[in-house]
Structure 1
Amino acid sequence: MRVVSLVPSLTEAVAVTLPGALVGATDWCTHPAGLDVTRVGGTKNPDTDRIIALAPDLVIANEEENRAPDLDALRAAGLEVLVTEVRTLPQAFLELDRVLTASGARTRPRWLDEAQAAWTALPAPAEPVTAVVPVWRRPWMVLGRDTFAGDVLARLGVHHLYAAHPDRYPRVPLDELRAAAPDLVVLPDEPYRFTADDGPEAFPGLPCALVGGRHLTWYGPSLAEAPRVLGEALRPSGRTTGL
């Protein structure tokens, strides 16, 4: 089986489960470390000719990560394209099963069982913490409705204040974000790379939690450790305060 993945988290899932199956991945596919495959461009602008030349048996994509015209071009060239949709944690587990089976896995990998067990074992959240979750600045954009990251946070007891917004990633002025007075500002390191020096200063007086995007937004092997890693980052001891 020859597989090209256009989704970083699914790249990691296939590479860890089926060594040697991947022949191509995007420039943003950073895990596992040292992955040696042909790079086919970005998730939004893949080199479709290069993908076609690799003659894969399967191309793995996602309805949010990848653009329909690119996937249509691959199908027109006779390639099989599997498109995933992941908006919740249960969907993630179902889609991972589907992707790995389609990629040639004959048994369910241990890491997937461990990931599902880690999330199942979570205690019921206490009083929810309110949050805003910026994913970009210039302009400021935040998590809105119907997102995988929002579902992950909700299971950890963090309710983001724009969960009912009509848009999935609304643009919200900074003044409005501050005025919302959340208990917490969650700042991931992707797609925008928020850091201790770039992000918290925009929210003076508000607790900020810097979290890894791989644990917040990726659906792959990182799901096994995500409850612990995110839980530690979201606790008061793991937070910083905007100056």
Structure 2
Amino acid sequence: MNSPLETRSLSLKREGNAVLDKVSFTVAQGEIFALLGGNGAGKSSTLLTFLGFLEPSGGEVLVNGQSVASDVTAARNAIAYLPEATSLYGHMTAYENLDYFLDLAGRSAGVDELNAAFDRVALPIEARSRRLQSYSKGMRQKTAIALALLRETPILLLDEPTSGLDPVAIDEFHDLVKALAQGGQTILMVTHDVYGACQVADRVGLLRRGKLVGSFSAENGQRIDTETVHAAFAEREAA
């Protein structure tokens, strides 16, 4: 059976420099896979290959078993992408943002449906009619995920999703991501946060200088051991 997300010996060069070197992994439906690495490891570039914004120099990138290169529109329609800086309009309310972006996607939603999505991400009722310029980063992320829910995309890509959040907001975000995965959504997140990756992910892949150099899995319902991953991360980064 095809995995919703897969790379096969993915290699990528930018301006003549190797960014990714024969990276292979799969992400199953309902799984949270965290790609962990330091700055320049190739994490964000990996996400952009799934969206067709970067063209591999070797190997394959597949979404729902189909090569992104063969049908980039199908890949993008299946994916919601949450960048580190959420691309929403600060001069518009949460309702207005969702109405606007849903219209661009060729669909619409009534107030009840919008509120149901906001309820799922725990966006406060009083905030929904406020302009996003007054929002914290955590609230903007919740709005973006509500949009993803309404678009009904089966795959969610997260780029440094907890960067800049306070500890309470991080816990709330992790709970939300776990709930989405339990509902069947496939989630690939990239991060440099060892603790956060181990807290939320079913599997963690360690990326160093474009190569996948380690893999860690949660066993018997337990979280991935943070100390083990941290030691591997520190060792690899120092090498």
- Sort the TM-score into its range (normalised by shorter chain): under 0.3
Larger radius of gyration: 1
Give me the TM-score of the superposition, normalised by structure 2. 0.26
Comparing both chains, which one has the higher relative contact order based on Cα–Cα distances under 8 Å and sequence gaps of 6 or more?
2
